[in-house]
């Protein structure tokens, strides 16, 4: 429907830090690491704001679903090598930078916004540099923090150490690995548990994804992938591969294990349609339209 060319950031110590953000109407993206641009489905686009960066600094951001506010994390490094110096997080008006609030800073922690949920920020917490291999979630996160966008106070911590998030953050919540072969946990963004939609062992070696309504799981695997739901009901997807997430309740994005091509699986007909070439897959740091969907 619409495309835009992008100049990647000149400095990227964290390959999975959020340089795109989907609102309800637009896709925002960082051009050259600091210029926040947008594109809409009708092809219109422009510059929304600019992020001020120093040498060896990297920005990650998330725009609120109503296009009014932007949350920005700036991670600072000494390079070479990419030694970590710390981070700062702020929120301000997307247009004009008004109502600026500095929320948090740390010399040791590394976290950046990946979405907004109920007016609060969803922060991915993890190592300051990432990643040498495909992680179990698109952000290289080891846990999530839900943060008040006005005060910076932490409202909830989800997926504690050793129980890393599995799959993309869904609108309803997320999967946390159980660790040591235990059953995983399923959690809403307020930290309360979601009734387990299916039996699933942990740690799981392939990407998994919770459906937008929290009732099913799409599981990567070898020799097959699966869609699992209540009472042990499941459907098999022939062939080994990874699951990247749900576009909606009827469409799942998958990647065959021996090929880089990303495809959309229609759960009604089980037809596959190829949408993205290998160079736009997650392993290349790419982004697919408004996928993962906006968290609102």
Question: Residue 72 is part of a domain; what is its CATH number?
Answer: 2.40.128
Q: Is residue 91 situated within a structural domain?
A: yes
Cβ atoms of residues 74 and 87 within 8 Å: yes
At 47 the three-state DSSP class reads strand
Phi, psi torsion values for 284, nearest 5 degrees: -100, 5
Residue 180: predicted pLDDT: 63
Locate all alpha helices (DSSP H) within 21-162, ordered by sequence.
none
Both tokens assigned to 80: 């070479």
Residue 286: predicted pLDDT: 41
Q: How many CB atoms lie within 10 A of CB 87?
A: 22
Residue 296: predicted pLDDT: 54
Q: What is the residue range of 118's domain? A: 6-158
Q: Is residue 74 situated within a structural domain?
A: yes
Q: Is residue 192 situated within a structural domain?
A: no
Q: Is residue 173 situated within a structural domain?
A: no
Residue 219: predicted pLDDT: 87
Overall domain count for the chain: 1
Q: Is residue 103 situated within a structural domain?
A: yes
Q: Is residue 180 situated within a structural domain?
A: no
Instruction: Report residues of the chain scoring pLDDT below 70.
Output: 80, 134, 179-181, 199-206, 231-234, 258-260, 274-296
Q: Is residue 102 situated within a structural domain?
A: yes
Q: Is residue 39 situated within a structural domain?
A: yes
Phi, psi torsion values for 141, nearest 5 degrees: -80, 145
At 146 the three-state DSSP class reads strand
């Amino acid at each position: 429907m619409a495309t835009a060319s992008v100049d990647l950031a000149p400095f990227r110590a964290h390959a999975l830090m959020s340089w795109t953000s989907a609102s309800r109407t637009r896709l925002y993206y960082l051009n050259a690491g600091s210029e926040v641009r947008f594109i809409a489905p009708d092809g219109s686009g422009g510059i929304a704001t600019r992020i001020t960066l120093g040498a060896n600094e990297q920005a990650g951001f998330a725009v609120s679903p109503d296009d009014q506010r932007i949350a920005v994390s700036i991670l600072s490094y000494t390079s070479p090598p990419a030694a970590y110096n710390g981070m700062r997080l702020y929120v301000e008006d997307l247009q004009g930078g008004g109502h600026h609030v500095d929320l948090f800073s740390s010399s040791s922690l590394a976290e950046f916004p990946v979405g907004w949920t109920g007016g609060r920020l969803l922060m991915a917490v993890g190592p300051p540099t990432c990643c040498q291999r495909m992680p179990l979630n698109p952000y290289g996160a080891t846990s999530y923090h839900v943060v008040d966008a006005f005060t910076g106070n932490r409202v909830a911590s989800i997926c504690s150490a050793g129980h890393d998030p599995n799959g993309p953050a869904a609108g309803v919540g997320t999967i946390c690995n159980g660790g040591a072969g235990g059953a995983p946990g399923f959690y809403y963004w307020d930290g309360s548990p979601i009734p387990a939609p299916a039996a699933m062992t942990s740690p799981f070696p392939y990407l998994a994804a919770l459906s937008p309504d929290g009732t099913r799981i799409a599981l990567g695997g070898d020799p097959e992938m699966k869609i699992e739901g209540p009472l042990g009901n499941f459907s098999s997807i022939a062939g080994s591969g990874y699951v990247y997430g749900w576009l909606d309740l009827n469409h799942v994005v998958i990647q065959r294990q021996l090929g880089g091509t990303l495809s959309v699986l229609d759960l009604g007909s089980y037809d596959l349609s190829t949408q993205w070439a290998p160079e736009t897959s997650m392993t290349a740091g790419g982004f697919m339209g408004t996928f993962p969907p906006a968290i609102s």
